[in-house]
Amino acid sequence: MTEDQMAAEARELLANVTRVQSHARQSMLSASWSIFILWGLISAASVVPLLLGADDMGFYWLVAAPIGAIVSFWLGARHSEGVGVGESALPYALTAIGIFVFAFAGSFLIDSRWAIVWVFSVVAVGFGVFAILDRQQPVLYLVGLLVVAFVGLGLGLDDSTSLYLSCALLLGGSYLGLGVGLRMARP
């Protein structure tokens, strides 16, 4: 084999590696589309009990959050098996536990209006941690915008019901939109 042939083969191998890396990055970014849709639906659906006159949204989240977490872990495990990643679930489990602990503790320790801002911000930041674990940097921008928006809503809305509705629909709509967008961008 001549030097030119070896150089051409090396260039072809490098192009293949670049193509595989690009495909893997795109696959990782779009992998969690179903989880975003799930949590978007859970968040948006949380307004239903409030609109029906529920005084305390804690019961909804006490039921919906663990079910959502179990379904999320199942979806994540299914994806890991499908692409053969096989990463440890421990960081994801610790993040999920952290979300629950910080969200529920804050909801009991903080004034009701700011507890709403706190809980939705904790959920958004928790998904930011998931994005870091999944190397999904673009998701971090959405998380940052959501937290700023929740704080802005907390500063601008005095009524707890309006604040909750706004935060729940903002988070739900953002995650639904992101999930649909990631689904459409799948390789």
pLDDT at residue 43 in the model? 93
Within a domain: residue 47?
Answer: yes
Within a domain: residue 38?
Answer: yes
pLDDT at residue 81 in the model? 53
Within a domain: residue 160?
Answer: yes
Q: Which residue range is the domain that position 115 belongs to?
A: 31-184
- When the pLDDT of each residue in the chain is averaged and rounded to a whole number, the result is 80
Interval 14-38 mean pLDDT: 61
Give 155's contacts (C-beta < 8 A, 6+ positions apart). Answer: none
Assign 181 a pLDDT band (cuts: 50, 70, 90): confident
Within a domain: residue 22?
Answer: no
Interval 29-50 mean pLDDT: 84
C-beta separation of 113 from 160 below 8 A: yes
Interval 32-46 mean pLDDT: 89
pLDDT at residue 23 in the model? 46
Within a domain: residue 8?
Answer: no
C-beta separation of 163 from 152 below 8 A: no
pTM for this prediction: 0.76
Within a domain: residue 51?
Answer: yes
Total number of domains in the chain: 1
Within a domain: residue 125?
Answer: yes
pLDDT at 169 over 80: yes
C-beta separation of 137 from 131 below 8 A: yes
Within a domain: residue 41?
Answer: yes
